[in-house]
Chains A and B, each alone.
Chain A
Amino acid sequence: MNVSNQTREWYPFVGPFDPCPPKYVKTYVVPPNQFIPFQPMNLPQFSLQEALRRGTLWPALYSPYDSKCGKEGT
């Protein structure tokens, strides 16, 4: 279990007669909320400006996501 890396990979079956160019690796996100049953008290906080920009006060809950628009694969 890798808590710091929020992306998981898996390798789907690729058939010999698939009509489209295959994707060899598929990915999905496992955000940090999946590893916190109940948030402990007194966790570190972002500055208020930073918290507004990121959408959370808590670095432990922050989940970055990059757009795949225009990117090859996955």
Chain B
Amino acid sequence: MWIYDKKLQYPVRVSKCDPQMAKYLTEQYGGADGELAAALRYLNQRYTIPDKVIGLLTDIGTEEFAHLEMIATMIYKLTKDATPDQLKAAGLGAHFAAHDSALFYNNASGVPWTAAYIQAKGDPLADLYEDIAAEEKARATYQWLIDMTDDVDLQDSLKYLREREIVHSLRFKEAVEIIKADRETKKVY
């Protein structure tokens, strides 16, 4: 069960009309290493991970949905008042034809999200190392997104999200250490 707080995890302010940036931000919405993929990956893997780290996957998976909401807010703000001509000029003509200004889970190139992006091997190390890799890839994506906009307000929210990836990556590394140490601790009576 979840409890919903009707506010964003961190404020999202967009101060420049730039529908093209919305197209690029979509990579973190419905891309292979985006927030949707992250949330669904962790919240699914947690059922078969050793119970010492289930809570970590629940917490981080939940936070990823909060990040998804921030990215959605950015995309929505950048496209809600754009005309079809502006969307065409921003490379979003095909998106408009299928979805109007609605958000959709595809990546920056328009490829729809697929569960093939994520994995659950049932092996704790294999799963956790995938999670660490996903966090570092998302961190890199945020860096390139920050590099692509001169809107300092948008940069500010993206920098926050990038830092969260770094923290999550460390937490997954700690989970690996916990998994590795499990046998030793059981020997102590």
Contact = CB atoms under 8 A, between A and B. Distances in A.
Interface of A: 29, 31-33, 36-39, 52-56, 58, 61-65, 67-70
A17 to B, nearest CB: 28
Nearest to B181: A38
A55 B155 CA distance: 13
Contact of A33 (B146, B148, B150, B173): B173
A39 to B, nearest CB: 7
B167 A55 contact: yes
5 contacts: A53-B160, A55-B160, A63-B166, A65-B142, A65-B159
B170 A36 contact: yes
A2 B23 CA distance: 37
B177 A37 contact: yes
Interface residues of B, number: 23
Q: Which of B142, B149, B167 has the most CB of A within 10 A?
A: B167
Interface of B: 10, 139, 142-143, 146-150, 155, 159-164, 166-167, 169-170, 173-174, 177
B177 A38 contact: yes
Given A62-B163, A63-B166, A64-B159, 20 more contacts: A29-B143, A31-B139, A31-B166, A32-B166, A33-B166, A36-B170, A37-B174, A38-B177, A39-B170, A39-B174, A53-B160, A55-B159, A56-B164, A61-B163, A61-B167, A63-B162, A65-B142, A69-B146, A69-B147, A69-B150
Contacts of A31: 139, 166, 169
Nearest to A63: B166
A4 to B, nearest CB: 16
A32 B166 CA distance: 8
Given A55-B159, A67-B149, A33 B169 contact: yes
Contact of A65 (B162, B167, B173): B162
Nearest to A54: B163
Given A33-B169, A56-B166, A65 B143 contact: yes
Nearest to A70: B150
Contacts of A65: 142-143, 146, 159, 162
Pairs of residues from A and B, 9 with the lowest C-beta to C-beta distance, nearest first: A55-B163, A33-B170, A55-B160, A68-B147, A69-B150, A31-B166, A67-B146, A33-B169, A38-B177
